[in-house]
Each structure stands twice: as C-alpha cells, then as structure tokens.
Amino acid sequence: MAKTNTTLPKKGKVEIDRDILLSIINLATKEINGVESLTNDYLPFYKKMAKPKSEGVNIQFDTNGIVNVDVYIRVFIGYSVPDVAFRVQENIKNALNTMVGIKPGKINVHVYGVACDEEIQ
C-alpha cells in the first residue's frame, strides 16, 4: 500500500471577509434567549446609511491581529441583563473560535433597551 504525504505546509495565509465575521457574530448573538434584536441606534443617521450590514456589531482589529467586538442589543423584559450579556459574550467567543479559529480579545455587550411584548403594553 502506498503512503500519501499528509503533512501540510507550515506557511500560508487565510483571509476571512469582514462580512463573514459580522454574520457569525450576528447569528451567535441572536441564538441567545432574551436577546430581542441587534440595534444600531448608537450610530448617527449618516453612519447607519453607510454601514447597513453591521446591524449592531462593530469589529476592530488591533495591531497584533486580535479581534475586538462590540455588540449592541435589546433585551426582552423579564430576562437578567447581566446573564444575557454574559451568554452573548460566551457564544460569540465560542462561535468565532470553532467556526473560523479566531480567539477574540474583548467582547463588549452594550444593552440599548428593553423590549416588551406587545400584549403587555
């Protein structure tokens, strides 16, 4: 039986589009119970028009290539805000690590409101 060479080259470069990272973070955030939606209410009007895909997610890369994430959400009434924020942080960290192999630096969760069910109002 012939052996195949299974060693991989040590050098190489993998590029991941920013929109892919935004999608992963968006999905990881919306998976958490208690998150009503992502919001870009923190942005001025003209920036909302320029960045329609970001929808409540801001990604920044530092000089070492570490990804820092800011997520802006609304939480359903009746859920613990610190608990939801912690679960969002953990889910984003796990999603980035397992899907694209990135270990993020800071993951900041900003809660911009509490949403009530329409029946309650």
Please write the tens of the pLDDT for every residue from 8-47: 566 777 778 888 899 999 999 999 999 998 887 666 555 5
43-82 pLDDT tens trace = 655 555 665 556 788 899 888 878 999 999 999 999 999 9
Residue 120 domain flag? no
Question: Number of folded domains in the chain?
Answer: 1
Global confidence as pTM = 0.78
Residue 84 has φ and ψ, to the nearest 5°, of -65, -45
Query: pLDDT-based confidence at 121, cuts 50/70/90?
Result: very low
What is the distance between the alpha carbons of residues 117 and 14, in angstroms, rounded to a whole number?
44
Helix (H) or strand (E) holding 36: strand 35-38
Residue 110 domain flag? yes
Residue 33 domain flag? yes
Average pLDDT for the chain? 82
CB-side neighbour CA atoms (13 Å) of 97: 10
